[in-house]
Amino acid sequence: MKVTFLADKYRVGTDRGLYAHEKEGILDDLNLVIDLENSVYPEKWVETEDGKAYHKTEQTMDEFFEGRTEKKLEPGDMFVYDGQVLAIDRPDRLIVCLSESGALSVVRFVEEILSAEVRMQKGDPEFGEGEIMMKEIETLPADLPDDITP
């Protein structure tokens, strides 16, 4: 799962936001499914070599997680996923701060998207042990047009 990280940090424990959803292990689940290598990191201002101007450049993953013992999400981190700004308040609490689809979008995110991703990563038999299973076609129908290449 790719996300866009925000430079802003959520003030943990303030209970600010549209809606909060609590579920045991949300932070662990997020750390399991979010693709840190391919996610988007916030821009930062960098001074030019001559020292006379600044320009924006995207942070690297290493710069974003600088000062942390591990490259993992922690309470206070904020990210954007599918038009909603989500903040980690505690290891078991996720808050939606801004959403295109309403305050309960955090519930849909956790219960539908995140839980399905976690089950797939952990090898739930419903998902074919982490692999997308495709049914093989043994024989092609005889009445296929000639210009179709299987």
Q: What is the pLDDT of residues 8-55, one digit of tens each?
A: 999 998 888 889 999 999 999 999 999 999 999 988 888 877 877 787
* Whole-angstrom distance, CA of residue 105 vs CA of residue 123: 26
Give the HSE-up count for residue 67: Cα atoms under 13 Å, Cβ half-sphere: 2
Assigned domain for 102 exists: yes
Whole-model pTM: value is 0.74
In tens, the pLDDT along 127-148 reads 554 444 444 555 656 666 666 5
pLDDT at 132: 47
Q: What is the CA radius of gyration of the chain?
A: 21
Assigned domain for 32 exists: yes
* Whole-angstrom distance, CA of residue 79 vs CA of residue 107: 16
Assigned domain for 149 exists: no
Domain count, the chain: 1
* Whole-angstrom distance, CA of residue 83 vs CA of residue 134: 31
Assigned domain for 12 exists: yes
Beta strands in 27-103 (DSSP E): 43-47, 54-58, 78-81, 84-90, 93-99
Assigned domain for 116 exists: yes
Range of the domain at 10: 4-40+72-127
